């Protein structure tokens, strides 16, 4: 992170030189607005990258190299029991690049019985579900951060463009002069609304995969309790009851879920926005 801060300061080199010469800050901002914007993006890039992937960009390159060396040392194929690279896993650690592929690959080397092997598979599946849920949660945080930043930037733009231009003596002329600025403000806020809407959708997906993770953990607990009580677990009975399937299941008549109710709210919000746009169009006619 210190490296990215240093690069951001390098992007502000001309700004620091102008300020050192005694130039006012407002004049420097108007003259070198692009340098401020570039420095801001350089500083925000690693933050957003870490929220999405769980690590910084340079750390991701180091993890990828370590994972390749570790796989070569174990003499394993690169993707066993997983469809994603261990280097791109949101919560993978350097000490354990991919828990799923290594644990499944080691099942045949264990000295325990079949029950221990099944427990290891459930542990690895639960861990992979946790990695997927954490990755979705990180992406939802990015949507929230970008949406809030875009919303406040739109308000800041509108305030900077309308300061000192509002004339109370002629409201009609003032509103006509502000109409283009209102259009830009609405566009920016619609973009912010899109990101905030994606945040809510991502949180719904996170809750879904989090429920799958908990379902697998509960299945593992049932198996462990059965083993501790020296009572054999009837696997076929669990299959009949649907305990071995990570699906949401079918809904009965008049049943609903939080996800379906959220989708209905999204449709209602879209309808309200369409009515607002139609009202503005009718008023302009």
Is there a domain that residue 63 lies in?
no
Contacts of 51 (CB under 8 A, 6+ apart): 138, 139, 141, 142, 145
Query: What backbone torsions phi and psi does residue 96 show, to the nearest 5 degrees?
Result: -145, 85
pLDDT, residue 94, reads: 37
Is there a domain that residue 151 lies in?
yes
DSSP string across the chain:
-HHHHHHHHHHTHHHHHHHHTT--HHHHHHHTHHHHHHHHHHHHHHHHHHHHHSS-HHHHHHHHHHHHHHHHHHT--S-SS-SS-GGG-TT-BTTBS-HHHHHHHTGGG--S-HHHHHHHHHHHHHHHHHHHHHHHHHHHHHHHHHHHHHHHHHHHHHHHHHTTT--TT-HHHHHHHHHHHHHHHHHHHHHHHHHHHHHHHHHHHHHHHHHHHHHHHHHHHHHHHHHHTT----HHHHHHTTTT--------TT---HHHHHHHHHHHHHHHHHHHHHHHHHHH-
Is there a domain that residue 182 lies in?
no
Average pLDDT, the chain: 71
Do residues 126 and 44 both lie within one domain? no
Is there a domain that residue 220 lies in?
yes
Is there a domain that residue 158 lies in?
yes
pLDDT tens digits for 78-91?
443 444 444 444 44
Do residues 33 and 128 both lie within one domain? no
Mean pLDDT computed over 217-231: 76
Is there a domain that residue 126 lies in?
yes
Look at 245 and 219; give whichever has higher pLDDT: 219
Is there a domain that residue 145 lies in?
yes
* Total count of domains within the chain: 2
Do residues 24 and 131 both lie within one domain? no
pLDDT, residue 82, reads: 42
pLDDT, residue 264, reads: 67
Do residues 237 and 129 both lie within one domain? yes
Cα within 13 Å of Cα(34), Cβ side: 1
Is there a domain that residue 78 lies in?
no
Label residue 188 by pLDDT band (50, 70, 90): confident
Do residues 148 and 276 both lie within one domain? yes
Look at 171 and 104; give whichever has higher pLDDT: 171
Do residues 47 and 151 both lie within one domain? no
Q: Which range of residues forms the domain containing residue 148?
A: 122-166+189-244+257-280
Rounded-to-integer distance, Cα 235 and Cα 187, Å: 57
Do residues 126 and 226 both lie within one domain? yes
Beta bridge partners of 62: none
pLDDT surpassing 80 at residue 133: yes
Do residues 263 and 152 both lie within one domain? yes
Rounded-to-integer distance, Cα 147 and Cα 190, Å: 10
pLDDT tens digits for 252-268?
676 666 666 666 666 66
Do residues 145 and 233 both lie within one domain? yes
Structural contact between residues 217 and 165, judged by C-beta atoms closer than 8 angstroms: no
pLDDT surpassing 60 at residue 120: yes
Do residues 16 and 157 both lie within one domain? no
């Amino acid at each position: 992170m210190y490296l990215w801060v240093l690069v951001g300061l390098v992007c502000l080199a001309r700004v620091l030189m102008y300020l050192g010469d005694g130039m006012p800050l407002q004049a420097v901002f108007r003259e070198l607005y692009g340098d401020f914007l570039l420095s801001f993006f350089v500083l925000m890039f690693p933050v957003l990258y870490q929220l999405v992937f769980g690590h910084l960009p340079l750390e991701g390159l180091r993890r990828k190299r370590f994972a390749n060396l570790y796989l070569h040392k174990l003499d394993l194929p690169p993707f066993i029991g997983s469809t994603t690279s261990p280097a791109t896993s949101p919560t993978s650690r350097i000490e354990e690049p991919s828990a799923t592929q290594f644990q499944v690959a080691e099942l045949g080397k264990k000295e325990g019985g079949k029950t221990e092997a099944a427990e290891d598979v459930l542990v690895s599946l639960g861990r992979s579900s946790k990695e997927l849920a954490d990755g979705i949660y990180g992406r939802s945080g990015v949507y929230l951060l970008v949406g809030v930043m875009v919303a406040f930037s739109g308000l800041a733009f509108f305030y900077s463009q309308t300061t000192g231009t509002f004339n109370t003596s002629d409201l009609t002329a003032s509103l006509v002069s502000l109409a283009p600025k209102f259009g830009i403000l609405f566009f920016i806020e619609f973009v912010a609304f899109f990101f905030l809407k994606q945040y809510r959708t991502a949180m719904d997906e996170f809750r879904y995969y989090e429920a799958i993770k908990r379902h697998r953990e509960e299945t593992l607990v049932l198996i462990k309790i059965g083993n501790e009580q020296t009572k054999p677990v009837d696997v076929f009975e669990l299959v009949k009851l649907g305990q071995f399937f990570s699906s949401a299941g079918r809904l009965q008549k008049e049943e609903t879920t939080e996800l379906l109710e959220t989708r209905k709210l999204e449709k209602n919000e879209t309808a309200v926005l369409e009515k607002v746009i139609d009202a503005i169009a009718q008023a302009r006619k």
